[in-house]
Amino acid sequence: MASATITAKGQITIPSQVRNALGLDIGDRIEFVEIEKGQFLIIPATGSIQDLKGMGRGRRKKPASFEEMDRAIAKGASRSL
């Protein structure tokens, strides 16, 4: 199991085996998605804003709540694991 230590500034170094598994490189961003209280998924946020164009068209008339968005993100992330 990979582990990391938190510095005094709240920073960590992601172990190389985790970076490789996620396909992360220098300058990439990651997102932390809470799936349950105290449990988070780490997801690479490497897509372009252009990738999102047209994704929401005609799908929903009522805005989603933050809880609904979190569940959808966690569900999509679990599929990519």
Domain annotation covers residue 3: no
Whether pLDDT at 81 is above 70: no
- Taking only the tens place, the pLDDT of each residue in 41-61 is 888 887 666 666 665 566 556
Q: What is the DSSP letter of 60?
A: -
Range with lowest mean pLDDT among 64-68, 70-74, 76-80: 76-80
1 domain residue, yes or no? no
Helix (H, G, I), strand (E, B) or coil at 77: helix
pTM of the model: 0.52
Containing structural domain, residue 30: 16-49+61-80
**Residue 29 included in any domain:** yes
Structural domains of the chain, count: 1
Max intra-chain CA distance, the chain: 47
Structure tokens at 17: 């085996």
Task: Confirm whether 40 is domain-assigned.
Answer: yes
Any domain includes 54: no
* 11-48: pLDDT as tens digits: 999 999 999 998 898 888 898 888 888 888 888 887 66
Contact 44, 24 (CB under 8 A): yes
Establish if 31 belongs to a structural domain: yes
8 DSSP 8-state letter: T
Can you tell me which residue has the tokens 């799936």? 35
